[in-house]
Amino acid sequence: MLKLGTLPTRRLAHFVRPATTALFVSKAEMSMAATRQEVSKVRSYEEIPGPKPLPLIGNTWRFLPFIGTYGGLEFVELAEKLHAEYGNIFKIPKLMGRNDMVYIFDPQDFETVFRNEGPWPARQSLSSIKEYRGVLRKDFYKGIGGLATSEGKEWQELRSKFNQTMMQPRSAKSYVGPIDTVTEDLIDRMRELKNENAELPPDFINYLFRWALESISLVALDTRLGCLERQFSPDSDAQKMINVTHVVFHALFELDLKPGLRHFTKKKEWKEMVDALDCINEVSMKYVHKAMKKIKEKAETDVRELSVLETLLLKHEDPLYGVVMSLDMMLAGIDTTAHSSATLLHYLARNLDKQEKLYQELKTVLPSKDQTITAQNLEDMKYLKACIKESMRLSPTAAGNVRKIANDVVLSNYRIPKGTEVLLNHMVATNKEENFPQANRFIPERWLKGEKEHHKIHPFVALPFGFGPRMCIGRRFAELEIEILAAKVFRNFHLEYDRELKLKSSAINMVVNPLSFKLEERD
């Protein structure tokens, strides 16, 4: 019997019945037609919905205080309002001095953006930082803007070298003991701070800032600043660092991130930012110089492991690269870590059943509440990690990510051209029922396989530290600090809190509640 597979393809039709041939052609034609139809469904960039610009003045007026439709709205409020009006994708075109901005809310679109960002992910430039480092203080920075301002191949080369130090798990693990010591100091202060009603003072958030600064200074400046000493002075360099960091984040939002007029119309914010960055540089450089002196004096026979700062300073022929990385860590590692920790403490103090479940885990891993935490202890705290994930889902430090599209892509069935700036609104997405059942509830179990509350979570919906090559370079140290803080606090204390969380959303989400936690000592 002759097998069809042995015949040349062009002669196959002669050995198939006409009816079958017609059926075969019909399916092929149908498939091609369906493909053409799908392509035709993709809508143009011009068809993306959004607020329509007015002649000459565009959309800028909408974001001005008092007169604008969206004037005065905070970052998340703005995203939620526009999302309710226009859906999962919209654009805001014709903003004075700015490119169009496309807002997206669908995790599948998030994945498309991240999967197509290429080796040199581009994002909205922090032009004020760039101007400060590249123009105003060019004599100090000498053309080295660091990861905050560099782009393209220069950024990739810089990032790849810093990754070897900042993103290696062993680098963070080497600081478990020192950060445990810092956190023990905070625990001691908490015992002393509570009043006759066993409540912490309303300004307890500042103690979290002091703890975060003390922790990151171990990494970035290779020293302790004394932020948690009993005789801490409000005029100290450390408190100045905390205060000016708040100023920088406020100014960044006003100058670079907030829709509206750019910084040439906001002279007050620009001056405040320059003064704040000068202060950070001045204080930080005192300790960087000490570290550089220590490196020079180090004996050849000294084989101790280098600190992160020492490694950064020795990584390049020009130590200025390491200096700039250290300054970036100081700028980014105080407010972000402190506010993330504050939200975690809040959710656990408001959800006592979850706090008790965490305490039972901590009591198992840490039989003695004053024992030093190890890296292995942290590995064993699965429920603690789930609590942190759930807190960051509800209230992430940053409400979203920004990317400049590297290649033409299709998002929510609209064609987005290369070079378009896209804002990925993670916080709105993580608080939607379609992505997280009972989205407004604190349920750490949803992150743990085997728990009845566990459910399938889109891998790109909750990304508090970003994704891919441009993921937050300080992630490992931030997670380490938050884990140790939560473990120490809830192993030592039972916390209660009677207020809903209130956030102010700008460059980052900031807790504005007075954190008067009620403290009860654990046995």
Q: What is the pLDDT of residues 253-301, one digit of tens each?
A: 888 888 765 545 678 999 999 999 999 999 999 999 988 888 877 655 4
The answer as to whether 72 is a domain residue is: no
- In the predicted model, what is the mean pLDDT of residues 18-34? 39
Q: What is the DSSP string of 52-96?
A: PPBTTTBTGGGGSTTTSTTTT--HHHHHHHHHHHH-SEEEE---T
Q: Which residues have a Cβ under 8 Å from the Cβ of 305 and sit 6 or more positions away?
A: 174
**pLDDT tens, position by position, 77-106:** 999 999 999 999 999 999 887 889 999 999
Using CA of residue 46, residue 50, residue 53, residue 54, what is the dihedral sign?
Answer: positive
Q: Which residues have a Cβ under 8 Å from the Cβ of 134 and sit 6 or more positions away?
A: 141, 143, 145, 149
Shortest CA distance to 254 belongs to which of 244, 245, 265? 265
For residue 375, pLDDT over 60 is answered with yes
Residue 346: DSSP 8-state: H
The answer as to whether 279 is a domain residue is: yes
- In the predicted model, what is the mean pLDDT of residues 438-450? 97
Number of Cβ within a 10 Å radius of residue 454? 14
The answer as to whether 48 is a domain residue is: no
**Helix or strand run (H / E) with residue 388:** helix 382-394
- In the predicted model, what is the mean pLDDT of residues 171-192? 97
- In the predicted model, what is the mean pLDDT of residues 16-30? 37
Q: Tell me, rounded to whole angstroms, the distance of Cα 485 from its chain centroid.
A: 19
pLDDT score of 120: 87
pLDDT score of 374: 97
- In the predicted model, what is the mean pLDDT of residues 346-357? 98
Shortest CA distance to 477 belongs to which of 488, 469, 465? 465
- Determine the Cα–Cα distance for residues 436 and 128; give it in Å rounded to an integer: 37
Q: pLDDT confidence of 452, banded at 50, 70, 90?
A: very high
pLDDT score of 24: 36
Q: pLDDT confidence of 30, banded at 50, 70, 90?
A: very low
- Determine the Cα–Cα distance for residues 497 and 238; give it in Å rounded to an integer: 29
User: What distances in angstroms separate CA 42 from CA 37, 39, 50, 102, 522, one per listed residue?
Assistant: 9, 6, 18, 16, 60
Of 264-268, 318-322, 338-342, 507-511, minimum mean pLDDT range = 264-268
- In the predicted model, what is the mean pLDDT of residues 140-166? 90
Runs of H (alpha helix) within 194-307:
204-220, 237-252, 267-297
Burial, 4: exposed, middle or buried (Cβ in 10 Å; 0-12, 13-18, 19+)?
A: exposed
For residue 1, pLDDT over 50 is answered with no
Q: What percent of the chain has pLDDT over 90?
A: 72
pLDDT score of 265: 62
The answer as to whether 11 is a domain residue is: no
Domain membership of residue 484 as a residue range: 128-521
In contact, 347 and 390? CB cutoff 8 Å? yes
**pLDDT tens, position by position, 311-330:** 998 877 789 999 999 999 99
Number of Cβ within a 10 Å radius of residue 301? 5
The answer as to whether 140 is a domain residue is: yes
In contact, 233 and 239? CB cutoff 8 Å? yes
Q: Phi and psi of 406, rounded to 5°? A: -80, -30
The answer as to whether 23 is a domain residue is: no
pTM of the predicted model over 0.85: yes
pLDDT score of 317: 76
Structural domains of the chain, count: 1
- Determine the Cα–Cα distance for residues 108 and 273; give it in Å rounded to an integer: 37
**pLDDT tens, position by position, 200-233:** 999 999 999 999 999 999 999 999 999 999 999 9
Q: Which amino acid is at 375?
A: A
The CATH number of residue 354's host domain is 1.10.630.10
Coarse DSSP helix, strand, coil percentages of the chain, rounded to the nearest 5 percent: 55, 10, 35
Q: Give me the count of residues in the chain.
A: 523
Shortest CA distance to 217 belongs to which of 161, 253, 247, 179? 179
Q: Which amino acid is at 498?
A: D
For residue 520, pLDDT over 90 is answered with yes
**pLDDT tens, position by position, 128-139:** 999 999 999 999
The answer as to whether 374 is a domain residue is: yes
For residue 107, pLDDT over 90 is answered with yes
pLDDT score of 40: 55
Q: pLDDT confidence of 4, banded at 50, 70, 90?
A: very low
Using CA of residue 314, residue 315, residue 320, residue 326, what is the dihedral sign?
Answer: negative
The answer as to whether 107 is a domain residue is: no
pLDDT score of 149: 87
